[in-house]
């Protein structure tokens, strides 16, 4: 197996009494586009910061391109080869984007002036206006330009499209696919826009309260993952290798099954359960099922209440 672009083993971080990340194990292969999903405060940003040496792990270890970000000399080599767009896209207010480009290019040996000029044009960035006078959307675009023109081997993007209009989001995604994914660069991106993640990612990891709930290929989710709703007495409550989530909803039990849903349903039937539904799951439904603590409310069933089993019979 080739060296992972990003690797974490038992990575944990606590801030005083608060645990941000717990026992996180990730192995992201070079060239993968990995969507890192989770609710606010799930630990996504803390994980990214640990990869970039901004925060030190409490336990466990991380490697980026085979290098340890907790060692200064190795961190410098990581930072030369990794581009980062932080969640808070804060740059020097007095500087114009043109000045920021000049300042940034001096740090990176692989910097591409051509890419920077192209991005400035495609993203319609006013290059001679002070950063503090730009709209939030334009500030995000500048942060993206600085990261993308770095021609880095790994892109770590923390909510890169926050504050951008749909046209610009589309432009950014196209740029990422055309200029970066196609060249085999690794992208580790966190986003709350699941549609964007589905558009560009081939892997997803879902984080909740610092724990990795699920890691899978997106294709696998589309083809294999099923929601199984069953009712009956004594249904299994715990998760197994195939069952990634089991929640109780009134008299029903909802199972998110990673593979062989039919076989699982047959097992439940043999235990006397009634199977009410076996349905495929999109990323959005899967995410909501995994991270919601109550009944999921998708646009189709907003405000849905648990229906007694007798209604189905």
Partner 1 sequence: MYAWKCWRESRARFFFLLILFSVTALLFTLQPGIEVRDGWWHFDRNEYIRNPWPTAHVVFSMILSVLWCSGFLSAVFLGATAPGSEIEPGTIEYLWTRPRTRASVTWTHWGVCVGEMVLVAVVPIYLAAALLGALTKHWDFPFLFSAPWMMVIVGLPVLGLTTLMTALRRSASGGLIYASGVVIVYAILRQIIIVPLHLNLPTLFAGPLIWLMNNNQFGVTPSAFPWGALWRAVFLAAAFPLAAQYLLKRAEV
**CB-wise, 82 or 283, nearer to partner 1?**
82
H helical segments located in 57-216: 72-81, 97-105, 113-122, 136-148, 166-175, 194-200
User: Does 17 contact partner 1 by CB under 8 A?
Assistant: no
Provide the edge-to-edge strand list for the sheet that holds 6-15: 18-28, 6-15, 59-64
User: Does 70 contact partner 1 by CB under 8 A?
Assistant: no
List all residues 6 or more positions away from 114 whose beta carbon is below 8 Å from its beta carbon.
Answer: none
**275: helix, strand or coil:** strand
Contact 119, 172 (CB under 8 A): no
Helix, strand, coil % in the chain, rounded to nearest 5: 35, 30, 35
**CB-wise, 15 or 312, nearer to partner 1?**
15
User: Does 288 contact partner 1 by CB under 8 A?
Assistant: no
Among 95, 229, 243, 288, binds partner 1 (CB under 8 A): 95
- How far is Cα 8 from Cα 309, in angstroms, rounded to an integer? 44
Strand boundaries in 146-222, DSSP class E: 154-158, 186-190, 203-208, 211-217
Could you tell me the smallest distance in angstroms from the CB atom of residue 19 to partner 1? 15
Which span sits near partner 1 by CB under 8 A: 28-36, 70-78, 185-193, 290-298?
A: 70-78
User: Does 108 contact partner 1 by CB under 8 A?
Assistant: yes
Among 17, 18, 40, 94, binds partner 1 (CB under 8 A): 94
Among 2, 17, 18, 72, binds partner 1 (CB under 8 A): 72
Burial of 289 (0-12, 13-18, 19+ CB in 10 A): buried
**227: helix, strand or coil:** strand
User: Does 296 contact partner 1 by CB under 8 A?
Assistant: no
Structural tokens at position 163: 């504050």
Q: Are strands 252-257 and 243-249 parallel, antiparallel or unpaired?
A: antiparallel
User: Does 103 contact partner 1 by CB under 8 A?
Assistant: yes
Which span sits near partner 1 by CB under 8 A: 28-36, 106-114, 186-194, 254-262?
A: 106-114
User: Does 91 contact partner 1 by CB under 8 A?
Assistant: yes
Could you tell me the smallest distance in angstroms from the CB atom of residue 54 to partner 1? 5
Footprint of partner 1 on 23-52 (CB under 8 A)? 49, 52
Contact 190, 157 (CB under 8 A): yes
- How far is Cα 82 from Cα 151, in angstroms, rounded to an integer? 9
User: Does 306 contact partner 1 by CB under 8 A?
Assistant: no
List all residues 6 or more positions away from 56 whose beta carbon is below 8 Å from its beta carbon.
Answer: 13, 50, 70
User: Does 79 contact partner 1 by CB under 8 A?
Assistant: yes
Tell me how many residues contact partner 1 (CB under 8 A): 26
**CB-wise, 54 or 288, nearer to partner 1?**
54
Which span sits near partner 1 by CB under 8 A: 27-35, 92-100, 115-123, 254-262?
A: 92-100
Could you tell me the smallest distance in angstroms from the CB atom of residue 43 to partner 1? 15
Task: Summarize as ranges the residues that interact with partner 1 (CB under 8 A).
Answer: 49, 52-56, 72, 76-77, 79-80, 84, 86, 88, 90-92, 94-95, 99, 102-104, 106-108
């Amino acid at each position: 197996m080739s060296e992972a672009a990003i690797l974490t083993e038992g990575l944990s971080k606590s801030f005083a009494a608060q645990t941000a990340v717990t026992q996180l194990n990730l192995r992201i292969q070079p060239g993968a586009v990995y969507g890192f999903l989770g609710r606010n405060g799930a630990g996504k940003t803390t994980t990214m910061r640990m990869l970039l040496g901004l925060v030190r792990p409490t336990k466990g270890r991380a490697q980026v391109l085979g290098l340890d970000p907790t060692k200064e000399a190795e961190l410098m080599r990581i930072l030369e080869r990794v581009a980062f767009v932080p969640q808070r896209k804060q740059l020097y207010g007095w500087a114009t984007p043109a000045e920021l480009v000049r300042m940034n290019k001096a740090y990176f040996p692989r910097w591409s002036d051509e890419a920077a000029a192209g991005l400035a044009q495609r993203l319609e960035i006013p290059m001679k206006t002070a950063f503090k006078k730009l709209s939030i959307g334009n500030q995000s675009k500048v942060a993206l330009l600085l990261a993308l023109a770095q021609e880095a081997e790994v892109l770590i993007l923390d909510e890169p499209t926050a504050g951008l209009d749909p046209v610009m989001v589309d432009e950014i995604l196209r740029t990422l696919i055309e200029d970066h994914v196609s060249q085999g660069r690794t992208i580790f991106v966190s986003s709350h826009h699941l549609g964007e993640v589905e558009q560009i990612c081939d892997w997803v990891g879902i984080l909740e309260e610092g724990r990795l709930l699920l890691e899978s290929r997106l294709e696998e989710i589309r083809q294999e993952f099923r929601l199984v709703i069953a009712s009956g007495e004594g249904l299994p409550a715990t998760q197994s290798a195939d069952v990634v989530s089991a929640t109780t909803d009134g008299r029903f039990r909802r199972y998110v099954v990673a593979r062989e849903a039919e076989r699982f349903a047959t097992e439940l039937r043999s235990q006397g359960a009634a199977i009410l539904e076996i349905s495929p799951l999109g990323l959005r439904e899967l995410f909501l099922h995994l991270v919601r603590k109550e009944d999921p409310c998708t646009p189709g069933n907003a405000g849905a209440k648990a229906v007694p089993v007798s209604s189905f019979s």
